[in-house]
Structure 1
Amino acid sequence: MPQRRLSRRTVLVTAALVPGAAALGGCKDDPAAGAGTPGAVNGTPSTSRGPAEETPTVDPAVVAALSGAATLVTQLSQLYATSTRRFPALRAQLAAGAKYHASHLAKLKETQGVAAQATKAAAPASSQAALAAIAKQEKAAAVAHAAAAAKLSGAPARLLAEIAAAETQLGMALAPARKKDNA
């Protein structure tokens, strides 16, 4: 597979996202909120015996944000799978992205209550259309995950920022090459 050079635009976009991810990486979990448990509200075990009396251990806003992220990652994974089944020649090119998304989905589901909604991915008409569709969806998911990360703090924010950064890079790497200007 030929090596692709990163365009100036890719470098600038990555440079714009990395400081935000680094800033989120410096966030500290609130020790009173569960000693590092993503989105923990109550770090102490419940002493009640009935399920109706238990207090939630994960902030519902965190669960909602991570569930939305899990749904987007699932949709991307399905698009990768559909594209590799329909166009086996793309399998090697899409393998890394598929692996990253499987890993991201596993990390998202580590938080109690997070669930992804599966949808059916449409099969693109050509391999180039498949790559363009994946790149477009990667970029859209990166924007959504970065926006969701900005509304959270601690481990959930860092996780979403990491996923957004990976999706930005994947989107740029899979985007069809543009013709260079002669200037």
Structure 2
Amino acid sequence: MLERRLTRRAAVVTAALVPGAVALTGCKDDAAAGSGTPGAVNGGPSSSQGPAEETPAVDPAVVAALGAAATQVTQLSQLYANTSRKFPALRAQLAAGAKYHASHLAKLKETEGVAAKAAKAVAVPASSVVALTTLARQEAIAAATNAAAAAKLSGAPARLLAEIAAAQTQLSTTLTPPKKKDKS
């Protein structure tokens, strides 16, 4: 079994993201709590408002943030698929990441108006080690972007982006090829 050590960089990134994710879990989404969640308009089956306001409207800022995340997740999914095709020996190692991204994309698309835009595909490098490094770097970039976007929102959209950022940070850490041991 391959033993993975927690690097200083991974610890710092996790320490930076976890408090924000924990703080976001305390947000309430229900309209009765008066949370003022961006993206949702009060009204629903239990509301006393008229039928014209029963359909929730989504804040354009929420749609833009979740749409950007959906585009990134789609691009990462394509990179995982292309890397798996080019390096069949990596398929088992990449399976979890591909599964997470499919799940995240489905959750992102649950919000009305969110769609992934066509994005430029990242080329798969010639070496499997460089391919893993590229995947790890792309995951880290996406994690930073999603964490920053989560900090600008509240409620369910913020928690979803924070969850995705945390998963991407974890994937980045696990995909980073181990460095050669120091000669002590």
Band the TM-score falls in, shorter-chain normalisation: 0.7 to 0.9
Which 5+ residue runs of structure 1 have no aligned equivalent?
Answer: none
**Counterpart of 2:91?**
91
TM-score (norm 2): 0.85
**Counterpart of 2:6?**
6
**Counterpart of 2:126?**
125
**Structure 2 counterpart of 1:67, one-letter code:** G
Aligned residues between the structures: 179
What is the Cα-based RMSD across aligned positions, in Å?
2.7
Q: Is the 8 A contact 2:67 2:115 kept in 1?
A: yes
Cα deviations by residue, 1:68-90 (Å, 9 ceiling, x for unpaired) = 00000100000000000111000
Q: Does structure 1 residue 109 correspond to structure 2 residue 105?
A: no
Q: Does structure 1 residue 79 correspond to structure 2 residue 79?
A: yes
> What is the deviation of 1:178?
2.6
Q: Does structure 1 residue 47 correspond to structure 2 residue 46?
A: no
TM-score (norm 1): 0.86
> What is the deviation of 1:15?
2.4
> What is the deviation of 1:123?
2.4
Quote the Cα distance in structure 2 between the aligned partners of 1:130 and 1:34: 47
Cα deviations by residue, 1:110-167 (Å, 9 ceiling, x for unpaired) = 1111000133342221111210110000000000000000000000000000100110
> What is the deviation of 1:92?
0.5
Cα deviations by residue, 1:29-60 (Å, 9 ceiling, x for unpaired) = 25159999983124348735xxxx99861111
**Counterpart of 1:62?**
62
**Structure 1 counterpart of 2:149, one-letter code:** A
**Counterpart of 2:175?**
174
**Counterpart of 1:142?**
143
SS in 2 for 1:130: helix
Q: Using a 3 Å threshold, how does the CA distance of structure 1 residues 118 and 33 change in structure 2: closer, same or farther? A: farther
Query: Mean Cα displacement is larger for which, 4-13 or 106-115?
Result: 4-13
Quote the Cα distance in structure 2 between the aligned partners of 1:54 and 1:96: 39
Q: Using a 3 Å threshold, how does the CA distance of structure 1 residues 33 and 118 change in structure 2: closer, same or farther? A: farther
> What is the deviation of 1:7?
2.2
Q: Is the 8 A contact 2:44 2:54 kept in 1?
A: no
Which 5+ residue runs of structure 2 have no aligned equivalent?
Answer: none
Quote the Cα distance in structure 2 between the aligned partners of 1:93 and 1:116: 25
